Structure 1
Amino acid sequence: MKAIGYIRVSTEEQAKEGISLDNQTSKIKAYCESQDWQLVKVFSDEGSSGKDMKREGLKNLVSFLEADHVDVVVVYKTDRLTRKQRHLYQLLEDNFEKKGIGFKSVTEPFNTTTAMGKGFLGMLGVFAQLEGDLISERTKEALRYKISRGEPVGSPPLGFEAIKNKLKKNDDELEIVAEIFKLNNNHWGKNKLSLREIAKKLNSSGFRTKKNKDFSHKTVSYILSNPVYSSLLG
C-alpha cells in the first residue's frame, strides 16, 4: 500500500511538548514500516493553526491526492489535520472516501471503513475542536488583558512596539496588518488569494516585515492566525 503523511505544528511551545515536525515524521515513518506500507511523501505546515484550511501543505496534499494514486493518509494525531469537526468530515468525504483513500492516526485507534470507526473519529473531532477553542479562548483573554495594560506579549509583533517595557501601537505597521486581513477577506471561492499570493501583493506594494524583509507565506499565515490581531480586531 502507498501512504502519504501529513504533519503540522503551530507554535514553538508545541514543538517542546514532543510533537515537533521531526518527531511527527519519525512516528509516521515507524508506523508505516510496521504496517509494511510505502511512505511516498510527507506534507508539512509549520507555524500554522489547525483551524486554517488554506495551509499550503494541506492544499498540496489534496492536490497530490487528485493526481496520484494513494491508499492511505497517515497523521501523528487527528488534530494535526484539523481542529474543526466539520472540516474533518469535509476532508474525509470529499477528498478521502470518494477516492477510496483510508485515513489513519498513529496515536488514535480507529478504522474509517467501519461505522464504529467513523463514530469514534467523530468523537475525536469534537474533542479536538473543544481543545482548540479552549486554547484560543484562554490565549485571547490573556492577550487582551496584557494589551489593555500596555504590557509586552513577548517580542512585539507587527503593529506594536515595546517602549519602556510597555506595548504601544505602531499605526504605520497596523496599516500593513489591516491590508493583510483585507486581502484575505475580500476574495472568495475561486478568487480566494493563497498565502503566497497575498505575500506577493504585499511585497510588490513595498510593504516590509518587522525585520525589514520581504513577506513570505509563513509570515502571512502567522499574522492571520495570531490571536494578538484577532483580539485587537474584536
Structure 2
Amino acid sequence: MKLVAYIRVSGAGQVSDGFGLDVQEKAVKAWAKTNGHRIVHVSRDEGVSGATEALDRQGLSEALLLIRESEAEGLLIPRLDRLARALTVQEATLAVVWRDGGKVFTADGGEVHQDDPDDPMRTAMRQVIGVFAELDRRMVVKRLRDGRAAKAASGRKAVGAYAYGFHGDGEGRERDAAPNPTEQAAQARILELRAEGMSYRAIGTQLDTEGLPPRRAAKWSAMTVRSVCQKAGVS
C-alpha cells in the first residue's frame, strides 16, 4: 500500500527527549518496510502544537491532500499523539482520512480502525488515548506556567526580553538576567552624557562615533536613547 508518512515535533524539547523528526522518520520507514508498505512522501511539521487544527498545519494538510487526490492510500504516523494532542483534532483528522477512502496506521500499534457500531470499545479505546495525550499536553503547559510563576516570585525574570544592559545567563529555570558588559558601558555613557545636558539625538550620534552600538539597530536613534534613560529613571 502507498502511504504518506506524517511526523511532527512541537519544539526543541522533543529533540532532546529522543523523539525528534529524525527518530520519527526512521520509525515510520522501518514499520512500512517490515509490513510491506511503500512510503511515497514524508510530510513534516516542526514547532507546531498537537492542538493545532489540521488546516493550520502545512505538513498535515499536505499529507491529507495526497490522500484525497489518491496519490497515497493511507496515512502513517509514528504514534497517535504525533497526529494530535487534542481529542477533537485527532477525531476530526481521522474522519477526514476515512472519508476520503484512506487508512491510518501508527508505527507503534498498526492500523487505527474506523468506528464499528458492533464494537464500541474500539472507539472508546482510541479516544482514551487521545484524552490522555491531551491531558499530558495540558500538564506540560501547567508545569511551564507554574515554573514561570515560581521564577518570578523569587525575583528572577520569567518571560520577555531583557532590558538593555542585560542578557540571559544560565539554563532552564536557573536562567536569569546578567550584565552585558558592552551594553552596560553604553548605558553608563548615555547617563553620563545626559547628565551633562546633551540631547537624546546628540547622545546617539556620540555613541555611534565611540563605537558603542544599540542592541538591534545599526545606529542609535533619539527614541532608543530616551528609552534607555527612562528605564534608568533619568528624564
TM range (shorter): 0.5 to 0.7
Q: Report the structure number with the largest CA radius of gyration.
A: 2
Show the 5 A alignment for 1:1-234.
Answer: 1-53=1-53, 54-93=56-95, 95-108=96-109, 111-113=112-114, 114=116, 115=119, 116-147=121-152, 149=154, 151-152=156-157, 159-161=160-162, 163=166
Give me the whole-angstrom Cα distance separating, in 1, the residues matched to 2:42 and 2:8.
11
Which one is further off, 32-41 or 10-19?
10-19
- 1:57–1:147 Cα change, 3 Å: farther
Which one is further off, 97-106 or 57-66?
57-66
Asked whether the equivalents of residues 67 and 73 of structure 2 are also in contact (C-alpha less than 8 Å), the reply is no
Give the C-alpha shift of residue 110 in structure 1: 5.5
Name the % identity: 25
Q: How many residues align?
A: 166
> Aligned to 1:5, what secondary structure does the other structure show?
strand
TM-score, scaled relative to structure 1? 0.63
Give the C-alpha shift of residue 119 in structure 1: 2.8
Amino acid at match of 2:48: S
Where does residue 200 of structure 1 map in the other structure? none
Amino acid at match of 2:76: V
- Where relative contact order (Cα < 8 A, 6+ residues apart) is larger, the structure is 1
- 1:129–1:49 Cα change, 3 Å: same
Give the C-alpha shift of residue 29 in structure 1: 0.3
- 1:34–1:15 Cα change, 3 Å: same
Asked whether the equivalents of residues 110 and 118 of structure 1 are also in contact (C-alpha less than 8 Å), the reply is no
- 1:28–1:150 Cα change, 3 Å: same
- 1:46–1:106 Cα change, 3 Å: same
Amino acid at match of 2:107: V
Amino acid at match of 2:124: G
Give me the whole-angstrom Cα distance separating, in 2, the residues matched to 1:44 and 1:66.
18
Give the C-alpha shift of residue 145 in structure 1: 3.1
CA RMSD, aligned part only? 2.6
Give the C-alpha shift of residue 92 in structure 1: 1.1
What CA deviation, in whole Å up to 9, does each residue of 1:29-70 have, x standing for no partner? 010011110100111111111112212212222222222342
Amino acid at match of 1:135: V
Give the C-alpha shift of residue 211 in structure 1: 7.5
Asked whether the equivalents of residues 7 and 45 of structure 1 are also in contact (C-alpha less than 8 Å), the reply is yes
Structure 1 stretches lacking a partner, 5+ long: 168-209, 213-234
Structure 2 stretches lacking a partner, 5+ long: 169-175, 178-214, 218-235
- 1:100–1:67 Cα change, 3 Å: closer
Asked whether the equivalents of residues 111 and 118 of structure 1 are also in contact (C-alpha less than 8 Å), the reply is no
Give the C-alpha shift of residue 7 in structure 1: 0.5
Give the C-alpha shift of residue 143 in structure 1: 1.8
Asked whether the equivalents of residues 106 and 112 of structure 2 are also in contact (C-alpha less than 8 Å), the reply is no
- 1:150–1:48 Cα change, 3 Å: farther
What CA deviation, in whole Å up to 9, does each residue of 1:195-216 have, x standing for no partner? xxxxxxxxxxxxxxx978xxxx
Amino acid at match of 2:161: F
Where does residue 189 of structure 1 map in the other structure? none
Give me the whole-angstrom Cα distance separating, in 1, the residues matched to 2:86 and 2:129.
10
